[in-house]
Structure 1
Amino acid sequence: RRSPHLTILTGLATFVFFVLATARWPIHYAALYWLLPAFPIVYALRHQYLPDFKFDYPRTPGDLAPLSVALFPLVCLWLIALKPEVSSDGLAMHMVIPARMAWAHAWNFDVQEFTWAVMPMGGDWAFSIAWLMGGEAAARLLNFAVLCLIAWIIFERLHARVPNWMTAALTGAFLSTPLTQHVTGSLFVENVVALWILGAALILRVYVKERRAVFLYAFAFFCGMAAASKFGALAFVVPLLLAACVQAKIRHLAIAVPLAAAVGSIPYVEAVLRTANPLFPFFNSYFNSPFYDKLTNFRDVRFETPIAWTTWYDITFHSSRFIEGQDGSLGFLFFILIPICLVGLRRRWPRTGFVLLWVGLAGSVISFMGQSNLRYLYSALPLFTLLIGVTIASFRLRSPRLGQALAGTAALAFLLNLVFLPAAGWYHKNFTFNRAFNPKAVANYLTASAPERKLVDWLNVNDPAARVAWMEGNAIADFHGRAFTNSWHSDQFYRRLRESTAPEGHGWLAQDLKIGYFIAPAPGSWRALTNVYTREFLDRFTRPVIASSDLELRRWSPPDPGITGPPPPHAPPGEYDEISAYTHFTGHWARDLQFHQAYRGTLVYGNDSRSRLLIRFNGTAVRLKYTAAANRCTALISIDEGEEFPFSQFSQETRWQALSPRFAAAAPGEHLLQLRFPQDRSKTAISSCYIDLDGFVVE
């Protein structure tokens, strides 16, 4: 009652827990969530149990100015929250869950459709409540509202220790951190997880002061909700529980610890029952679930930087290595002032300061050791902001000028953060748009940033129960039907597509899975196809339905038996990438998109002696582009099935975009070049010897 923000936090956690416990049952209708709040409201009115919403409103311009400064970045984030969802993670997962809950009124935990279907989803359950009540806009605004609650808690706690302008500078510096915009401008769950962690830390402080068991039980509930919201939250939950074990009574811990375990274990028990792996799909080489690769553990290889002496500097000034954003994404408040907090550590600090320092640092280190993704460190930022406030208050007692200098540093960091706000990511480079002056702003924004959404809207209207394959990417958004994606999100479809050795193999897969539609890059799109047979499959077995930007929705339409299409084209003189209308592959070939040194950033490689490559050209000669390297073999080249010439791609040093000798035809005209592996290459192990194609030049 004395802490309305903790009352709101407890109520939100209770509603999210309800969804967590009942998600599998088809009871989740909008009417239910409009009705449920009536019960606590009626109970509170009958028993006069109402939170004390007494605010100390600013009465003078001098009081109002600091509050306005703190609220300025919050208003900026509100404008971004009003935009539709376009982030890759949001469209692939965090938007899918609430949209499916609203459509199907339950979640089926089907890991064969979504590999992540049994992961902890506490934040997504919160978004589901909002989506059921008000759609996509409500879900995005709830994410923003959670940030507002975090900011309220930070402002109130700081206001109790430092003057108004210092409170405003620190709160504003947190809100203007580019990482804060990154997680608030899209449907990420980090704000929800950070709220549970922050709430647990503060309620532990209340317990230590009052020694009432109910506060420790609330602390345990928040810890459990954090663990049930994100696997990575355990990095902060474990230090929190250890801090509680040091400060709490044994008899209270005997109930609190099992309570935290019971709440937090719900998604992990669900995962065990459905996949035999409590952390599915992580650590599957140990748990051996049949629904995912048993040989390698799932990891995001982009974020595996180990901790080093330069890490603190790197995550601030070289942030692009640790997030889908730019340098400066972490802001500048923490780089300067957290080391000062460590220097200023004193025994006379309040216990809260030690808890904030311990949980923030220990959780950050554990999280970074698991995956060096800055987004996973976000839960530490509210804790660190409060810790800086504790440090400034401590220094002010001994040296007011030093305290003012530190607060001035925070104000400077606030201004720098505002300058670097666009570093948060790529989705809000133009900040926001004005729908009143440009009614087409939303449509233009979606076409440019998330063209899949127009195609999904067409499907939801015209064929909502369709079975659809995303041939590149996994931006499912709010699609109602059965989705297959060429990514780890649909692992079985992804693996079967990779094993296909011909366009007909794609066709057999589509027939087996009864796929009726395909979303794929249009011919000439800047998006590269990861499978060498996809373009030919789409051209032969599907027909276009609707386009959005450089993407197409295509319908399954196989050719009639016995009817042959037009003759394949021949490449006129010019320079071409390895995948084009003029190349034809057979056998096992893989396409790699990770090497920017390659021609147009892509190349095709293979090591199966049964594989073939055909190039149709209209000219006098062809030169092949390839990557010369120590693990390359000798291929055989022939033109028009004539004499075969050896073509070695071996080189002690790697040479990108190397050019082959000139393979000349007998006369100008239409010709067919064939590349194949020699059949007697047993001297080199097949697993270590490759042939690649990076492009070709027709003369």
Structure 2
Amino acid sequence: MTAFNFGRHTWIAPVIALLVAAVAMGFATLMITEPLAARWGPGQLKWTIVSFAIFAVAGTVIAAVTRRPLMAVLGALIVAPSFLGLDAWTAAAALMLCSLSAGAIVLRIFRRRLEAGTDALFAVIIGLATISTAIFLTSPVSIHTPLTYSLGIVALVAGGVLLGVFSDVIAIVRRLSATEVREINLIDTILAGLVIAAIVMLALYARLPVVDNDSLILHLRLPLMLQDYGHARFATEDLLVGHFPAAADWLYGFGAVIAGEDGAKAINLSFALLVGGIIITWLNLAAGMRAAFAGAALFLTAPILYHETVTLFVENYFTLLLLASVFFAWCYSRDPRPYYLLACTFTVGAAGAAKLLGLLIIPPLAIWLIVSIVRNKRYTDFAWAALAGGGLALLAAHWPYTMAWLRTGNPLFPFYNTFFRSPHGPEQDWINALFHQTLTPESFVRMSFDASPFLESAGVAFAPFIILAPIFLVLALLAGPAHRKLALTLGLPVLLVGLGYLILTSLQQTYLRYFFPLVPMWAVAMGVFSAPLFVRGTWRLSSVSVAALAVLITFQAVNGPGAFYFTRHLTPLQTAFSSTIEDMRRTRAPERFINDYLRGRTDNDEPVAYFWRPFIAGSTENAVALHPFYSWGPWSDFDAAQRAGGLQDFIATRGVRWFVLHDTAVVHAGAGTLETLETLAEQEIRLSGATLYRVRDDVFFDDVIAAFETPSTLPEGWTPVGEIPVEDGAVVVDPQNLLVLGVEVDGDSVILVEADIACGENANYAQLHMNWLDAESTFLRVDIPNFPCRTGTFPLRHEFHAPDGATQGVLVIDGPWGGTQEFHSFQARQNSAR
């Protein structure tokens, strides 16, 4: 079969088309983007190109040695998360195995075994949706520990083994492997090498730390809360975005509980690699292995993918689900069984639980399904799609919206609050004012080469290959009948579904992160359209095509790190060193070191306020961001206080003990706010422009519970037990003769005790004594801090932190066993707001 109908000169049409495309892309690069040299440090552009070339050669050698290019690429997809560490790879592998097993168990209930790759993919999606929902619903309960997760992993994997799930998967892989021709083919191995190089590059940059706003306020905040505290709880007003559909974040929590931040990032990377695996499997089935490698390489080097994977956004998981739903729609179009309709609709529902925008895929996808139903005369499937499919989609999607409705009164909280009028958010609609450009044909060029109007970036930051789609579509239509049919039945429908989703999304916001699902869809279309360029037996045509593809892929891969401001000056080699990771965290997000310090303190339940930069991931459980976009309640209180010049009232009302302020955020403070803060708080730590302030005790503890100084009689308000002498201006106590004071508290109370004491005879240490009781007067806990004795009178200071559920505190001043202690002065204070 020839690729094009040009007689002996079959290579002319694609060569001309590719040259035109290369000139177009070169012109766009020179005229629209800033020069590459301006965006890279000395030698970094060179070393990035060299690194990618080395990875490509190494991948080619691996594919040649194994004589199984397809298996070599799939192996690279599986191994790549190990770049983040063995623990991180274990977390990602455990999630995938558990998801596969859980989904297969569900399918087995409906008498469906894993007979093909589509079944395994559907099982993984069912499992991911189920595990995410389970973590979400139990997130307020303190059960999220490594032990609990380990037991769950063992149970699910054991269930899968007993039901033969993994033996079914092994059989599927063996059948796939058997389709490969065991011979060294230069074209196949070079294409496989390019894909492996793209995988390695992406995995290296995925090692970098999370340093951006959205991730540190939510996407990493929730997982680290599960890791650090075993639960994730927050007040609605303190985290408006906390009620977003967050299926991906809860799956990141699975990784964080097992392996911390690296575990969460490995799972995010795994979602991206799984998208690549779907593209390879899909195109290999429909258009051949070479087209599969071409499509996968275009996707895995797309600059926007670096933007999504270097940090911890949710679009990789969201895109995985949308691409899978389109894949199942294609499966139904060629094999009209209701099973594929159910898989498609359930997957769309799971996407809706990951992001509200996922539901925008429904109109273009429904058109394709309806066309397939009519073409195949499966009219009864309308009822299936409407009833069973709609029910499955609702089952998968409704959880975050139902819980948001129950908790806030607004199922889409904080969106559309002018309609739902939830008291937990602002009365006006919650809208991101950024990225509302009008979408035009020119936008496709702009978003690929000058992304600043569409993303927090600049230059090449989306997917340059998308502007070549029309050219490659024409090439496919000029090819032989088989290629033309494939382009019209697969490539064009997928392209149009992606375009429909793009148009509907742009009506909400023209933000490249939200457009990301378009990239793998069009990569599939490009793989289909490029199939005529890689027909076996057309050596000259295939060689020219591989060379052109290699240039395009290298161009994308080199620009990939530039899609994110924080990575645009790092080469792949630099990302391999832990020193680079620590330096990036220190310079870009020094607050994260402050978070570690705060979390390591014994009083780590005290509220911390982060001014403007909401970098609260990994901080204390009661940390809040003072930012109008993310935390409406704290910001409203703070803004009102700074306008009135009364930050002390804000501290008293909110009980804030710590402030974190970065130098770059000072411009957002009101006049005199910084000066006022420095009179109310003392600097504790300063690191790379970030300062941690601790509110002074006399400001924070403004409610005096009890106090006496050089007493001549027993102090008022205390209940004496036994005979307590008052001698030389001091109360003398011991274990049998003591003073008791009852205090009303709640689970957030902190009581500061300061005293001047002296140790009596036979005393080696001094002590305080606090009993905590609940509303039923049931004993909860006792705190007995000890202090080494010194010569003469010495000061004593201690903070008592009430446990959850406490309503009463019983403060006791007594002495150590066998000795006495003298209290010359005593003061107990707490914050009036707590």
Query: Normalized against structure 1, the TM-score is what?
Result: 0.73
1:582: which partner in 2? none
Q: CA deviation at 1:275?
A: 1.8
Q: Which residue in 2 is equivalent to 1:311?
A: 443
Aligned to 1:60: 184
Q: Aligned partners of 1:442, 1:527: CA distance in 2, in Å?
A: 27
Among 469, 487, 497, which residue is 1:359 paired with? Answer: 497
Q: Does 1:153 align with 2:294?
A: no
Q: CA distance change for structure 1 residues 187 and 210 in 2, over 3 Å: closer, same or farther? A: same
1:574-593 correspondence to structure 2 within 5 Å: none
Tell me how far apart the structure 2 counterparts of residues 224 and 526 of structure 1 sit (CA, whole Å): 40
2:149 maps to 1:33: yes
- Aligned position for 1:298: 430
Q: For 1:658-697, list aligned pairs within 5 A.
A: none
Q: Check conservation: 1:29, 1:102, Cα contact below 8 A.
A: yes
Q: Work out whether residues 470 and 484 of structure 1, in 8 Å CA contact, stay in contact via their aligned partners in 2.
A: yes
Supply the distance in 2 between the matched residues of 1:182 and 1:437 (Cα, whole angstroms). 18
Letter in 2 for 1:428: T
**Structure 1 position 318, deviation (Å):** 2.0
Structure 2 counterpart of 1:236, from 355, 361, 368? 361
Equivalent of 1:517, from 658, 681, 702?
Answer: 658
CA deviation map 1:122-176 (0-9, x unaligned): 1111101111121111110111111111111212222334455544333222111
Amino acid at match of 1:177: A
Q: CA contact under 8 A between 2:332 and 2:372: conserved in structure 1?
A: no
**Counterpart for residue 170 of structure 1:** 295
Offset of residue 228 of structure 1: 0.5
Aligned residue number for residue 455 of structure 2: 323
Shift of 1:542: 0.4
Deviation at 1:270, TM superposition (A): 1.5
Q: Out of 396, 413, 434, which is 1:263 matched to?
A: 396
User: In the aligned structure 2, how far is the partner of 1:527 from the partner of 1:504?
Assistant: 16
C-alpha spacing 1:48/1:413, structure 2 compared with 1 (3 Å): same
Structure-2 change in CA distance of 1:251 and 1:526 (3 Å): closer
Return the match for 1:471 from 611, 614, 618.
Answer: 611
Name 2:51's counterpart in structure 1.
Answer: none
The equivalent of 1:16 in structure 2 is: 132
- Aligned AA (1:143): N
Q: Is 2:318–2:354's contact at 8 Å kept on the other side of the alignment?
A: yes
The farther-off stretch of 237-246 and 482-491 is: 237-246
2:429 aligned with 1:282:
no
Compared with structure 1, are the counterparts of its residues 18 and 351 closer, same or farther at alpha carbon in structure 2 (3 Å cutoff)? farther
The residue number in structure 2 matching 1:640 is none
Partner of 1:225: 350
Separation of aligned partners in 2, 1:59 and 1:112: 63
SS in 2 for 1:282: coil
Q: Is the 8 A contact 2:595 2:616 kept in 1?
A: yes
Report the counterpart of residue 415 of structure 1 in structure 2: 554
Superimposed CA distance per residue, residues 323-363 of structure 1 (whole angstroms, 9 cap, x where no aligned partner): 11111101311112246438967777464435412320111
| Structure 1 residues 544 and 259, CA gap change in structure 2 (3 angstroms) | same
> Per the alignment, do residues 213 and 171 of structure 1 end up closer, same or farther by CA in structure 2, a change over 3 Å counting?
same
Question: Structure 2 CA distance, aligned partners of 1:310 and 1:275?
Answer: 42
**CA distance in structure 2 between the aligned counterparts of 1:136 and 1:471, rounded to whole angstroms:** 23
Tell whether 2:596 aligns with 1:480. no
1: CA distance between counterparts of 2:474 and 2:397? Answer: 32
**What is the Cα deviation at residue 502 of structure 1?**
5.4
Q: Could you say which residue in structure 2 is the equivalent of 1:454? A: 593
C-alpha separation in 1, matches of 2:365 and 2:256: 31
Task: Encode CA deviations 1:545-585: one digit per residue, 9 max, x unaligned.
Answer: 11121111110117789xxxxxxxxxxxxxxxxxxxxxxxx
Q: Tell me how far 1:519 sits from its aligned partner.
A: 0.2
For the residue of structure 2 that corresponds to 1:36, the secondary structure is helix
Q: Per-residue displacement from partner, 1:438-496 (whole Å, max 9, x unpaired)?
A: 76444322111110001100110013211011122101011232122121211022122
Q: Are 1:551 and 2:675 an aligned pair?
A: no
Aligned to 1:576: none
Q: 5 Å matches for 1:608-619?
A: none
2:71: which partner in 1? none
Deviation at 1:247, TM superposition (A): 3.7
- Secondary structure of the corresponding residue to residue 371 of structure 1: coil
Q: CA deviation at 1:375?
A: 0.9
Match of 1:130 among 255, 266, 285: 255
Q: Distance in 1 between matches of 2:133 and 2:302?
A: 30
Partner of 1:505: 646
Cα RMSD for the two superposed structures: 3.1
Q: Aligned to 1:532, what secondary structure does the other structure show?
A: coil
Structure 1 unaligned blocks of 5 or more:
562-699
CA distance in 2 between partners of 1:211 and 1:165 (Å): 27
Partners of 1:162 and 1:393 within 8 A in 2: yes
Partner of 1:590: none
Residue 162 of structure 2 aligns with an amino acid whose one-letter code is R
SS at 1:470's partner residue? strand
Q: Deviations over 1:36-95 (max 9, x none)?
A: 333443334333342122253775263433212111121111112222222222112110
Q: 2:512 aligns with which of 364, 371, 374?
A: 374
Question: In structure 2, what is the Cα distance between the partners aligned to 1:246 and 1:466?
Answer: 59
Residues of 2 paired with 1:97 and 1:437: CA distance?
A: 27
Counterpart Cα distance in 2 of 1:476 and 1:79: 26
CA distance in 1, matches of 2:430, 2:417: 7
Q: Which amino acid aligns with 2:570?
A: F
Tell me how far apart the structure 2 counterparts of residues 377 and 200 of structure 1 sit (CA, whole Å): 16
1:98 to 219, 223, 228: 223
State the Cα deviation string for residues 369-427 of structure 1 (Å, max 9, x = none): 21111111111111111111222337889x98999877765443212212322321112
Report the residue type matching 1:145 in the other structure.
S
**Which of 170-179 and 32-41 deviates more?**
32-41
TM-aligned CA distance change 1:435 to 1:70, over 3 Å: closer
Match of 2:523 among 361, 364, 385: 385
| 2:355 corresponds to 1:215 | no
Does the 8 Å CA contact 1:170/1:411 hold for their aligned counterparts? no
3-state SS of the aligned residue for 1:298? coil
Q: Is the 8 A contact 1:323 1:374 kept in 2?
A: yes
Question: 495-504 or 167-176, which moves further after superposition?
Answer: 495-504
1:499-546 Cα offsets, whole Å, 9 max, x none, are: 235574112111110000000135xx6853432232112211000111
After alignment, is 433-442 or 538-547 more displaced? Answer: 433-442
Question: In the alignment, is the contact (CA less than 8 A) between 1:239 and 1:363 conserved in 2?
Answer: yes
Deviation at 1:432, TM superposition (A): 6.0
Aligned to 1:620: none
Residue 116 of structure 2 is aligned to residue 2 of structure 1: yes
497 and 94 in structure 1: CA distance in 2 versus 1, 3 angstrom threshold: same
Deviation at 1:202, TM superposition (A): 1.6
- Quote the residue 2:635 is aligned against: 494
Give distance in 1, aligned partners of 2:556 and 2:213: 24
Residue identity over aligned pairs, in percent, reads: 22
User: Residues 507 and 444 from structure 1, CA distance in 2 versus in 1: closer, same or farther, beyond 3 angstroms?
Assistant: same
Contact 2:486 2:528 in 1 (8 A): no
- For residues 32 and 275 of structure 1, what CA distance do their matches in structure 2 show? 30
Partner residue, 2:107: none
Supply the AA of the counterpart residue of 1:477: A
**Distance of aligned partners of 1:493 and 1:20 in 2 relative to their CA distance in 1, 3 Å threshold:** closer
Would you tell me which structure has more helix in proportion to its own residues? 2
| Matched positions, count | 558
Contact kept? 2:139, 2:232, Cα under 8 Å: yes
- Letter of the 1:260 counterpart: A
Cα distance change of structure 1 residues 306 and 435 upon mapping to structure 2, 3 Å threshold: closer
Decide whether aligned partners of structure 1 residues 268 and 241 sit closer, same or farther in structure 2, where only a CA change above 3 A counts.
farther
Distance change (3 Å), C-alpha of 1:168 and 1:205:
closer
In 2, distance between residues paired with 1:439 and 1:490?
33
Q: Which amino acid aligns with 2:657?
A: G
Tell me how far apart the structure 1 counterparts of residues 367 and 142 of structure 2 sit (CA, whole Å): 38
